């Protein structure tokens, strides 16, 4: 048994060791913080982004754990840490555009998690029939009021066409009219709209060109509101998977839907369109695209568009082999930057109305979604294509319309 006299030095010794251990831990953490700060500051400088700087697009970090979180899982770490309030930027769109233009995303190596997520899409059909309606439930069914307060008056949830347009309503009207002209729409034509949304194109084509429309969507909310919006017109809105359509149409359009189809189903998608299109009809495919196959952003996939994947042009060209002739290809991807910024302006302006149903974390999530997508299109890493296809080739050639 130790006496009090001999126990005091022991306790002092242990306390000194604990103090030294804590000091050593603090030194290591401070060194790690300095290394992280230096690494990120140097990386961002290549895009003229200053860590904790004063430029509108600069990145301000409020939680030191941010650096490790992003290094471990770049896409998910950046998105989730913004949702958690760990960082801020006054111009997220411009920050993201600069990151992509400078290819900083390529300098931060992807994590094992990212590779596993991508492998999942390679090995499994993430857009199978059994999963077809998941995107409807998780994205489009979250509340029509959100979309009413964000989109144009026709509720078009795809890229507008800003040629000679001064506002979102005009840009979306231009796009709808452009589609009608590209397929040569005539009164009485029967048209299939694959992924019809709230029936914006169906309503416009019926009202302005006398078309008889059939639209299919996997969103219950879209189908119900779309039917109300198109009431009294020759428009049928169905809650139906595209693979189950089996009738003939004069023309087919698909505006912003193939992003949910997945590479394992591109050929099936093209076969359905070929099966349903008359021999002399035209198929207009409107889609976001990427530079190389298999682009799948983990954060977008988890929080915004589950099971989504952007197609590369070579994948679409391969999928239509022996089925379609490519008559026309139109890229107006910079118009999506303007469209997304207009959606963001509406979303923020109407947040007091919309936000009653959602919390602040959703607010930050949706803001991040709109602004990062705008930045991606501004940087030109994402594309927007309208592709006109025919089954046997237009006799005498197709005249491009812009």
**Catalytic member of 159, 180, 230, 373:** 373
d(CA 315, CA 312): 5
Contact 279, 385 (CB under 8 A): no
Contact 58, 51 (CB under 8 A): yes
d(CA 201, CA 207): 10
How many other CB atoms are found less than 10 A from the CB of residue 184? 16
Residue 373 falls in the annotated catalytic set: yes
d(CA 354, CA 342): 16
SS3 384: strand
Q: For residue 109, with 0-12 CB atoms within 10 Å meaning exposed, 13-18 middle and 19 or more buried, which class applies?
A: exposed
| DSSP assignment string, 232-294 | TSSEEEEE--GGG--S-EEEEEEES-GGGT-GGGHHHHHHHHHHHEEEEEEEEEEEEEESSS-
How many other CB atoms are found less than 10 A from the CB of residue 215? 29
> Could you tell me how many residues make up the chain?
402
Contact 310, 382 (CB under 8 A): yes
Nearest by Cα to 297 from 141, 72, 59, 79: 79
d(CA 89, CA 59): 5
Chain-centre distance of CA 68, in angstroms? 25
Containing 238, the helix (H) or strand (E) segment is strand 235-239
Chain-centre distance of CA 153, in angstroms? 21
Task: Based on DSSP, count helices (H) and strands (E) in the chain, helices before strands.
Answer: 17, 9
Positions marked catalytic? 373
């Amino acid at each position: 048994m130790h006496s009090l006299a001999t126990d005091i030095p022991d306790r002092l010794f242990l306390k000194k060791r604990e103090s030294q251990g804590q000091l050593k831990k603090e030194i290591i953490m401070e060194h790690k913080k300095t290394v992280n700060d230096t690494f990120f500051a140097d990386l961002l400088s290549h895009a003229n982004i200053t860590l904790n700087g004063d430029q509108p697009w600069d990145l301000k970090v409020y939680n030191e754990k941010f650096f490790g979180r992003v290094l471990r899982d770049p896409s998910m770490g950046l998105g989730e840490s913004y949702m958690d309030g760990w960082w801020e930027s006054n111009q997220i769109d411009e920050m993201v555009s600069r990151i992509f233009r400078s290819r900083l995303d390529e300098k931060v190596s992807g994590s094992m998690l990212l590779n596993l997520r991508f492998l999942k899409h390679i090995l499994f059909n993430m857009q199978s029939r059994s999963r077809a309606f998941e995107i409807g439930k998780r994205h489009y069914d979250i509340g029509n009021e959100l979309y009413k307060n964000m989109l144009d008056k026709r509720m078009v949830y795809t890229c507008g066409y800003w040629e000679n347009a001064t506002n979102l309503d005009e840009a979306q009207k231009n796009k709808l009219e452009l589609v009608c002209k590209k397929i040569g729409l005539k009164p009485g034509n029967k048209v299939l709209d694959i992924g019809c949304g709230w029936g914006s194109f169906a309503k416009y084509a019926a009202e302005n060109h006398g078309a008889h429309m059939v639209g299919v969507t996997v969103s219950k909310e879209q189908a119900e509101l779309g039917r109300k919006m198109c009431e009294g017109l020759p428009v049928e809105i169905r809650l139906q998977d595209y693979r189950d359509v089996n009738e003939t149409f004069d023309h087919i359009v698909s505006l912003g839907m193939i992003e949910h189809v997945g590479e394992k189903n591109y050929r099936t998608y093209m076969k359905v369109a070929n099966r349903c299109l008359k021999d002399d009809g035209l198929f207009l495919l409107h889609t976001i695209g990427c530079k190389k196959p298999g682009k799948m952003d983990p954060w977008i996939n988890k929080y915004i568009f589950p099971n989504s994947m952007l197609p590369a042009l070579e994948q679409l060209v391969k999928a239509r082999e022996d089925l379609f002739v490519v008559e026309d290809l139109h890229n107006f991807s910079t118009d999506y930057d303007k469209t997304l910024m207009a959606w963001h302006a509406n979303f923020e302006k109407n947040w007091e109305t919309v936000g009653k149903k959602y919390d602040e974390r959703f607010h930050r999530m949706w803001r991040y979604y709109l602004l990062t997508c705008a930045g991606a299109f501004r940087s030109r890493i994402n594309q927007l294509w309208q592709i006109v296809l025919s089954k046997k080739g237009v006799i005498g050639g197709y005249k491009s319309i812009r």
